Chains A and B, each alone.
Chain A
Amino acid sequence: MTYPITMTVNGTDRTDAVEARLLLVDYLRNVLGLTGTHVGCNTSQCGACTVLLNDQAVKACTVFTVQANGGNVLTIEGMATDGKFHPLQQGFWEEHGLQCGFCTPGMILSSYDLLKHNPDPSEVEIRHALEGNLCRCTGYQNIVKAVQYAARNGVLSVPSEESAPTVDAQGENGAAG
Chain B
Amino acid sequence: MITETFEYHAPEDVQAAVAILAEHGPEAKVLAGGHSLVPLMRLRLATPSVIVDLNRIPQLRGITTENGSITIGAMTTHAAIEHSAELKAMLPVLPAAAALIGDPMVRNRGTIGGSLVHADPAGDWPAVALALDAQLQLVGSHGETTVRADDFFVDLLTSAVEPDEILTNITIPIPTGRVGVSYQKFAHPASGYAVTGVAAMVMLDDADACIESRIAITGAGATAVRATESEAMLRGTDLNGGSIDRAAESAVSGIDFLGDIYASEEYREQLVRVYTKRSLLAAFRAATSGHGAEAAKTI
Q: Which residues of A contact B (CB under 8 A)?
A: 1, 3, 19-21, 23, 26, 42-45, 47, 50, 56-59, 62-64, 66-67, 69, 110, 113-114, 129, 131-133
Residue of B nearest to A51 (CB): B105
Q: Which residues of A contact B191 (CB under 8 A)?
A: 45
Total contacts A-B at CB 8 Å: 76
Per-position 1/0 for B34-57, Cβ under 8 A of A: 110011001000000001010100
B136 interfacial by beta-carbon distance below 8 Å: no
Q: How far is the CA of A78 from the CA of B191 in the complex (A)?
A: 30
Q: Do B2 and A44 touch across chains, with their CB atoms under 8 A apart? A: no
Q: Which residues of B contact A1 (CB under 8 A)?
A: 5, 7
- B5, B39, B55, B104 interface centre (most CB from chain A within 10 Å): B104
Q: How far is the CA of A20 from the CA of B255 in the complex (A)?
A: 41
Q: How far is the CA of A20 from the CA of B2 in the complex (A)?
A: 11
Q: How far is the CA of A42 from the CA of B2 in the complex (A)?
A: 10
Closest chain-A Cβ to B84's Cβ sits at a distance in Å of: 14
- A19, A20, A129, A133 interface centre (most CB from chain B within 10 Å): A20
Per-position 1/0 for B1-17, Cβ under 8 A of A: 11111111010000000
Q: How far is the CA of A143 from the CA of B153 in the complex (A)?
A: 41
Number of B interface residues at 8 Å Cβ cutoff, please give it: 29
B261 interfacial by beta-carbon distance below 8 Å: no
Residue of B nearest to A113 (CB): B104
Q: How far is the CA of A164 from the CA of B126 in the complex (A)?
A: 50
B151 interfacial by beta-carbon distance below 8 Å: no
Q: Which residues of B contact A66 (CB under 8 A)?
A: 8, 10, 53
Q: Do A58 and B5 touch across chains, with their CB atoms under 8 A apart? A: no
Q: Do B105 and A67 touch across chains, with their CB atoms under 8 A apart? A: no
Residue of B nearest to A109 (CB): B105
Per-position 1/0 for B117-145, Cβ under 8 A of A: 00000000000000000000000000000
Q: Do B34 and A63 touch across chains, with their CB atoms under 8 A apart? A: yes
Residue of B nearest to A132 (CB): B103
Q: Which residues of B contact A62 (CB under 8 A)?
A: 34-35, 38-39, 109
B residues 87-128 near A (Cβ < 8 Å) are 102-106, 108-109
Q: Do A21 and B2 touch across chains, with their CB atoms under 8 A apart? A: yes
Q: Which residues of A contact B5 (CB under 8 A)?
A: 1, 19-21
Q: Do B104 and A110 touch across chains, with their CB atoms under 8 A apart? A: yes
Q: Do A3 and B8 touch across chains, with their CB atoms under 8 A apart? A: yes
Q: Which residues of B contact A114 (CB under 8 A)?
A: 104
Q: Do B55 and A67 touch across chains, with their CB atoms under 8 A apart? A: yes
